[in-house]
Structures are given as C-alpha cells and as structure tokens.
Amino acid sequence: MQLNLSGHHLDITSSIRQHTNDKLTKIKHHFDNIINVNMILEVQKDLQKAEATIHVSGTDLFAKAESNDMYASIDKLINKLDSQIIKHKEKLHSHRA
C-alpha cells in the first residue's frame, strides 16, 4: 500500500504521519487489496479538514471529514473509509456467490 500524504497550509509532522499510518492499518485488516491512498490534510482558520481517496482493485473510494482537531478529523475520515471498504468487500463477495 502506497500512502501519499500532503498538507495545505500545514506541515506534515512525523507524529501526524505515524498517527495516519496506525489508523490505516485498521482498514488494511478488512481489505488487503488497497493499492494507493492519497490523503490531503488542510487547515482553514478554526477548521481542520482531512480528505482521502483510496484506489482499490475495481474502484476508487473517497471520504472527507472536518473537525476542530486534526487527529479527530483523521479518525472520522478513517471510520468513514472503513465502512466504505467493508461495503465494497461485501459487494465483491455477493457477486461471486
């Protein structure tokens, strides 16, 4: 899995990068065929935004989350992506059966 992490009006620190990698392992437990993850972290005054596009075999999944804290935004984003991955995995298995 390749992770592209970029920041708008934000420097990506090692702690943010480590937190993101730790949270992405949660998604990897559910689905192993994740090819590429593009994540953009952005700061706008009091609002911290995180958005990501995951390229998996067959489709691209997108999610966006906002919060007052960057770590909370990342957590919300990963939860949304996790539910999308589970739904995508169920679709793959139901079509094969």
Taking only the tens place, the pLDDT of each residue in 44-74 is 988 999 999 999 887 899 999 999 999 999 9
User: How far does the chain reach from its first CA to its final CA, in angstroms?
Assistant: 28
Q: 1: helix, coil or strand?
A: coil
Rg (CA), the chain: 14
- Predicted confidence band at 95 (pLDDT cuts at 50, 70, 90)? low
pTM summary value: 0.88
Residue 10 phi/psi, 5-degree rounding, is -155, 135
What the chain holds in terms of domains, given with CATH numbers, is: 2-92 (3.30.160.100)
| pLDDT recorded at residue 6 | 93
Please state, in angstroms and rounded to a whole number, the distance separating the CA atoms of residues 38 and 62.
10
41 and 72 Cβ atoms separated by less than 8 Å = no
Averaged pLDDT for residues 3-17: 91
- Crossing angle between the packed helical segments 14-30 and 70-96, to the nearest 10 degrees: 20
